[in-house]
Chain A
């Protein structure tokens, strides 16, 4: 067995298993079925966002506008319902806007050659600023009484919240897309070496646009689930750590920021570690500052170990990360 089989993904998987074993021994009630369900549930929204982020990162990009799109699209949608728009009308308008923002992200990256980190940072701020100042009166919008989101939030199948099924379905769909469709494979080629991918005739630019539209749609779904559970959407979430957590989930699971590497499995492992950590630290009553320290230490350790066991190759070193 070669040392380099211990890539970041495996290291994190081992860390996760160790945390689980530790928690199972030390914390009574951790291995309880309801607790396990609530762990998966707690990472569903994070996981859905991380799936969208993963598709973009594998194609050598990054989408910093996801959390803004998630919160603001839903806030605008709910606000429209409050001000008398019909259900279909509001939903259509918001979907159009979400696809439009995703397309703008993709277009600017693909055709204007602006680095994705700047494009999506700017569109994220724009989406937040525009919706907050022009379309909604305050930074939290409630779900109108009797709206279908209430039913979604309350629905359970076999005692498991809908979020979990949506997350798993999307994870499976993303897996099928990346692994078995032609366009899915293209994501890897484009991420690994965009110039070569273009030379062999892959439509690199239209596909880039598609990826950002996908991540915008994933954000919208994550927002719907958040609103369904909280019966309101708090746009303050934009100022939270959520976006960093999304990137953390993708990166910690072993999806390289240089593109072309990783898949759904990495997202699942990354999300599992984050969800289990939060759960364990909550049960153990660990303070917030210490929680952040522990989370960041694990990330740093995983990155350092990976860098040590799998030195960067010549090509990545030349191209650099995003």
Chain B
């Protein structure tokens, strides 16, 4: 009898336990995730929408953000600092206001006040690619000083010890942080290599035709140059044209930096336009941004509290290192 009784109670307990099991073991994650992220509005203001970096970020973000029920929007200032400022101001006052504002700053200072206002209004501000004088909740992109060092190392490697050791730069401008920091990095790294010197350092003002003109002049004045570093793949086609037209493609190693897009970077290395591209992968930057917004929107962190730097590792893509996965493909991304 006792045996029977205890058997029954065992079954009863087991049944009760079994019945209770689904409730006790239910995963709290999806609910919390959904509550925190659903309906969140993310607005991106790049310098322009019509170039590979912005199209890449938008491509990856617009795929993933709807998956958690968020809304993703972009604004296109088309390289106008004023239009970008307007877009940010409009986003801050819009209703519902965005939860995350992603800004690509054109220079160190233009948007600093506006971005501070956004944070005060309760919006997380992400800075992408270009540093600025502002404590963003998170910065994504390359460490530009490090980019400069890496470009210089690539130039030194490509030239080799038996070369002229003369290196030319095609800088961007004198206000953009990417240009200033890159330059510092290059100079710093060059100093470590005996005999290497920067023989010419003109500016392209980010314009391809100007890049071509100044590079042509540079090559005439210093025909022994063995490597040229152009500060952006958006204008480096000009430097490439100058090298090609001078018939020095075999002699001069052209190093640019870019976002690792296939036709802009990998294809251009294959066809000899560039010798190497130092790439901050847009793909990785995009997924870093997604992870960070998922974290911040679920955390108790308030806009303005965090100040994190999420530097993406930079790859040097050249003939030796290029693989099928070195680049991402914009046309494939937008076609999906």
B220 contacts A32, C-beta separation under 8 Å = yes
For the complex, give the distance between the alpha carbons of A94 and B145 in Å: 44
Main secondary structure of the interface of A (DSSP, over half): helix
Q: Which residues from 145 to 177 on chain B have a C-beta closer than 8 Å to any C-beta of chain A?
A: 171, 173-174
Number of A-B contacts (CB under 8 A): 97
- A4 contacts partner chain B, Cβ-Cβ < 8 Å: no
Interface-centre pick from A29, A41, A240, A282 (highest chain B CB count, 10 A): A282
- A184 contacts partner chain B, Cβ-Cβ < 8 Å: no
- B33 contacts partner chain A, Cβ-Cβ < 8 Å: no
- B208 contacts partner chain A, Cβ-Cβ < 8 Å: yes
Q: Which residues from 296 to 327 on chain B have a C-beta closer than 8 Å to any C-beta of chain A?
A: none
Q: Nearest residue in B to A38 (C-beta to C-beta)? A: B216
A282 contacts B202, C-beta separation under 8 Å = yes
- B90 contacts partner chain A, Cβ-Cβ < 8 Å: no
Question: Which one, B200, B205, B208, B235, contacts A285 given CB within 8 A?
Answer: B200
CB distance from A149 to the nearest CB of B (A): 12
Task: Please indicate the chain A residues that have their CB under 8 angstroms from the CB of B209 in the complex.
Answer: 45, 226, 229-230, 237, 242
- A132 contacts partner chain B, Cβ-Cβ < 8 Å: yes
Contact A138:B55 (CB < 8 A) given known A282-B202, A285-B202, A289-B174: yes
What residues make up the interface of B, taking CB atoms closer than 8 Å to A? 48, 50-52, 55, 78-80, 171, 173-174, 200-203, 205-210, 212-214, 216-218, 220-221, 234-235, 237-238, 241, 245, 263, 330, 334
Q: Nearest residue in B to A35 (C-beta to C-beta)? A: B220
What residues make up the interface of A, taking CB atoms closer than 8 Å to B? 29, 32, 34-35, 38, 41-42, 45, 132, 137-140, 142, 153-154, 161, 226, 229-232, 234-237, 239-242, 278-279, 282-283, 285, 287-289, 291
User: Can you spell out 8 A-B residue pairs with CB atoms less than 8 angstroms apart?
Assistant: A34-B220, A35-B220, A138-B55, A229-B245, A234-B207, A239-B78, A239-B79, A239-B80
Task: Please indicate the chain A residues that have their CB under 8 angstroms from the CB of B51 in the complex.
Answer: 138-140
Q: Nearest residue in B to A228 (C-beta to C-beta)? A: B241
For the complex, give the distance between the alpha carbons of A234 and B212 in Å: 13
For the complex, give the distance between the alpha carbons of A153 and B245 in Å: 9
> A232-B208, A236-B207 are known contacts; what are 5 more A-B pairs with Cβ within 8 Å?
A29-B220, A231-B241, A236-B234, A237-B208, A285-B200
